[in-house]
Amino acid sequence: MSKVRPAPLPPDTVIGGYRIVRKVAAGGFGVVYLAQDAQGLQVAIKEYLPSSLVARPAGELLPQIAPEKLSLYRLGLKSFFEEGRSLAQISHPSVVSVMNFFRENETVYMVMNYLEGASLQDFIITARDLKQPKVFRESTIHSLFDEILRGLRIVHQHKMLHLDIKPANIFITDDNKAVLIDFGAAREVLSKEGNFVRPMYTPGFAAPEMYRRNAAMGPWTDIYAIGACIYACMQGYPPNDAPQRLEKDRIAIALARLRGIYSDNLIEVVEWCMSLDPLSRPQSVFALQKELSRPGARRYTKLTVGEKVRLQLDTMIADTKKTIHKTPDVGKQLK
Amino acid sequence: MKFSIFQVSRKGGRKVNEDRMGYCYTRKSGIFLLADGMGGHPQGEVAAQLALQTIAALYQKEAKPEIADVGAFLNTAVMLAHHRILHYSTEKGLPDAPRTTIVAALVQDGCVSWIHCGDSRFYLVRQGELLVRTRDHSFLEQRRSAGGSVIAAERRINRNVLFTCLGSPIKPVVDVKGPLALQMGDRLMLCSDGLWGSLNDADIVYHLTHKPVLQAVPDLVEKALRQGGKNSDNVTCIALEWETPDGFESTLGGDSAFTVSEGAFASTFQADATGAALEELNDAAIERSIAEINESIRRIAANKS
């Protein structure tokens, strides 16, 4: 299926009164540009341009859609509208906001506020390369996810699920605000069009129910991903993906290694969020927030000598296996 | 067990889509089903739905995680579906029982077995060759296999007239075939007559061979609908690519390939009989969506200031 990606619009193209500065990102659903409005304000513009369905030679404006792809193209457009519609209803500092929506070049564009900073994924990679026992400080994790959960709670209140929360989709702005981005996978809780466009998922962060068809997804599905993100902030690497865990669950062992480094409370919260059984997780963001903000001293339990020996043996076995299973990058998207 | 799968059902120029499809699987076995409710009798879509639900329910009960006797299971399941439809019809006091075709393929131990009744078909394509295609239970196909003059027959005999189906007062005629050992890359497809009625076998084989199923299925359906024109029948198709049991990553359509893990059970069947037809967006709907979104943006902005 190797196919040439449709070409992005060249710099200085003017669409809907905005001037394109450059391409910032490209995904399966489209291209994101940095652009300027008439007043010189920087904005991010997302162009609907599904790479598997359209072609666009370099330098041209109009995407070309083969007639047999047209109905899938229009179906994908629905998801794009879902994203716009849901984001338009939400106004929260921790959720990326939509400023405008327009039609041009036979496709549609979503204008969002432009964020300057880096993704949580970039921060994790930088932090883990410092080779400290802690990737992030516990207080940093707390304040970061406190903001994210406030935003996510509003999202869920609008009957929306994000469904692709991962460090790459959590943006930390230069003025230290955490913002949830890329609602491309988000869709209304009740809509069922799974036959056509399967939700994309990211191994390690996708809850086990996302691998099943017609399984009940809910706030608990996003909460699994939040748990996995906190895990990545502690370990520096994403957790094993759900199918691997269903086969042999090593999360408890991996978390045991962090005992004494992070508080028992935080480790327990991660374990709770990442329960394989959806019903065993916090059922709402509120329940999780309550647990995270529980006052009281942090407990730290050091590992006993016996536990340490057992963990070490486990590492030796796991290391021999690693030659076969390559650890994926943090938040690498499986498309 | 590893396979890639894709399924699509779309309404043609008919009032309702009476086609139903779905599949369920355990870690060692999988069943794939398609039923086409018949017009000319009441509630064809109900018959199709009942048939699928009955077979799926029996499968879920007996696949632990494999079916002990596949041939016997397929026979029993289809007969049970037939009786369930007749029972429904007497229960509701319908003057005439609803009717449906059925085709089912069951995969386990690296083999496939299949059953059909009516004119919904099963295809097995291996390395660009059509290895298996079910023979419809229609008068036309019967004439064909008897060696009669096909051209003369095609003119006189309507291909849509079947001599057997589920739900009729006469005991259904079924064909059970297999088990047939699968090879890596085999394409298995179930489809309704809306698909094969508009496309020839060479075309079907070509698409299945040259594309991953997640492209081949929507392309075939789209093509069949276009050929069928505005009076097109409903078109339903479910296809899977058989992959090696385990060991390496699929290079085709990696996103829809999955390995079934321990204790897992999955099913695509839904309890209700709503065949929500997918309506496409037209220009007016696109404009409306954009207007709605911009209205929301303005409202939120007004609230802020």
Stated pTM of the model: 0.53
Q: Which chain B positions have a beta carbon within 8 Å of A196's beta carbon?
A: 8, 218, 278
* A1: chain B residues, CB-CB within 8 Å: 212, 215, 252-253
| Among B20, B215, B293, the residue to mutate for chain A (most A Cβ within 10 A) | B293
Residues B289 and B293: their CA atoms lie apart, in Å, by 6
The listed CATH number (3.60.40.10, 3.40.190.10, 3.30.1120.10, 3.40.50.10490) that belongs to domain B2-276: 3.60.40.10
B151 to chain A, any CB pair closer than 8 A? The answer is: no
Q: How far apart are CA A29 and CA A46, in angstroms?
A: 9
DSSP code at position B166: B
Q: In what order do the strands lie in the sheet with A178-180?
A: A117-119, A170-173, A178-180
Q: How many other β-carbons are positioned within 10 Å of the β-carbon of residue A38? A: 9
CATH number for the domain running over A117-322: 1.10.510.10
What distance in Å separates residue A306's CA from the closest CA in chain B? 31
Strand B187-191 with B29-36, pairing: unpaired
Q: Spell out which chain A residues touch chain B, with contact meaning CB-CB distance below 8 angstroms.
A: 1, 67-69, 71-72, 74-75, 77-78, 81, 84-85, 88-89, 91, 98-103, 108, 192-193, 195-196, 198, 200, 211-215, 243, 246-247, 334-335
> Which chain B residues contact residue A108 at CB under 8 A?
286, 290
From the CB of residue A257, how many other CB atoms can be counted at a distance below 10 Å? 17
The nearest CA of chain B is from the CA of A26 a distance in Å of 18
List the pLDDT tens digit at each of the 335 positions of chain A.
Answer: 345 788 999 999 999 999 999 998 876 678 999 999 999 999 999 999 888 788 899 888 999 988 777 777 877 787 788 778 878 888 899 999 899 999 898 899 999 999 999 999 999 999 988 888 888 999 999 999 999 999 999 988 887 888 889 999 999 999 999 999 887 655 433 233 333 334 556 789 999 988 776 677 889 999 999 999 999 999 999 999 998 999 889 999 999 989 989 999 999 999 999 999 999 999 999 999 999 988 766 788 877 777 777 777 766 655 554 444 444 444 444 43
Of A202, A225, A229, nearest in space to A136 by CA: A229
Residue B264, classified by CB atoms within 10 Å of its CB into exposed (0-12), middle (13-18) or buried (19+), is middle
ipTM here: 0.70
The answer, for B268 touching chain A at a CB cutoff of 8 Å, is yes
pLDDT of residue B203: 94
Angle, helix B44-62 to helix B70-91, in steps of 10 degrees: 140
Question: Closest by alpha carbon to A79, among A188, A215, A202?
Answer: A188
Chain B nearest CA to A24, separation (Å): 24
A9/A110 Cα distance (integer angstroms): 15
Distances (CA, A) of B19 to A164, B36, B176, B266: 33, 4, 21, 21
Q: At CA A61, angle to CA A60 and CA A66, rounded to 5?
A: 85
- The domain limits of chain B are 2-276
Contact residues on chain A for B264, CB-CB shorter than 8 A: 212, 246
Q: Do B297 and A88 touch (CB under 8 A)?
A: yes
Q: Facing residues of B189 across strands?
A: B123, B239
- The rounded distance, in Å, linking the Cα atoms of B286 and A194 is 21
Beta strand pairing status for A187-188 and A170-173? unpaired
The answer, yes or no, to whether residue B279 has pLDDT greater than 50, is: no
pLDDT at B267: 56
Whole-angstrom distance, CA of residue B99 vs CA of residue B172: 11
Say whether B255 and A81 touch across the interface (CB within 8 A): no
Q: How many CB pairs under 8 A join A and B?
A: 90
pLDDT reading at B247 higher than 70: no
Read off the pLDDT of residues A244-275 as tens digits, 9 standing for 90 and up: 999 889 999 999 989 989 999 999 999 999 99
Taken as a whole, chain B contains a residue count of 305
Sign of CA dihedral A283, A120, A162, A334: negative
Mean pLDDT lowest for which of A194-198, B166-170, B272-276?
A: B272-276
pLDDT, averaged across chain B: 82
The fold for domain A14-113 equals Phosphorylase Kinase; domain 1 (3.30.200)
CA neighbor of A215 nearest in space, from A192, A196, A239, A236: A192
Beta bridge partners of B191: B121, B237
Q: Sign of torsion, CA B227 B121 B211 B213?
A: positive
Do the bridges between strand A14-15 and strand A18-26 make them parallel or antiparallel, or are there none, so unpaired?
A: antiparallel
Handedness of CA B12, B14, B15, B16 (dihedral sign): negative
Q: Are B166 and B104 in contact (CB under 8 A)?
A: no
DSSP characters over A227-284 = HHHHHHHHHSSPPPPHHHHHHS--HHHHHHTTBTTB-HHHHHHHHHHT-SSGGGS-SS
Q: How far from each other are the two terminal CA atoms of chain A, in whole angstroms?
A: 12
For residue B293, give the nearest of A1, A72, A88 by CB distance. Answer: A88
What is the per-residue pLDDT for A311?
72
- B152: Cβ–Cβ under 8 A, 6 or more apart, which residues? none
Inter-chain touch A246–B268, beta carbons under 8 Å: no
The model's pLDDT over B26-38, given as tens digits with 9 standing for 90+, comes to: 888 899 999 999 8
Residue B152 pLDDT: 56
Question: Which pLDDT score, from 0 to 100, does residue A330 have?
Answer: 46
Q: Do A196 and B278 touch (CB under 8 A)?
A: yes
Task: Write out the H or E segment, with its range, that includes residue B123.
Answer: strand B121-126
Q: What is the pLDDT of residue B244?
A: 65
- B183 HSE (CA, 13 A, CB side): 7
Here the tokens at position A290 are: 């309550």
Looking at residue B263, its pLDDT comes to 39
Tokens of A55: 């072609």
Q: Do B259 and A243 touch (CB under 8 A)?
A: yes
Domain boundaries, chain A: 14-113, 117-322
Residue B276, pLDDT > 70, answer: no
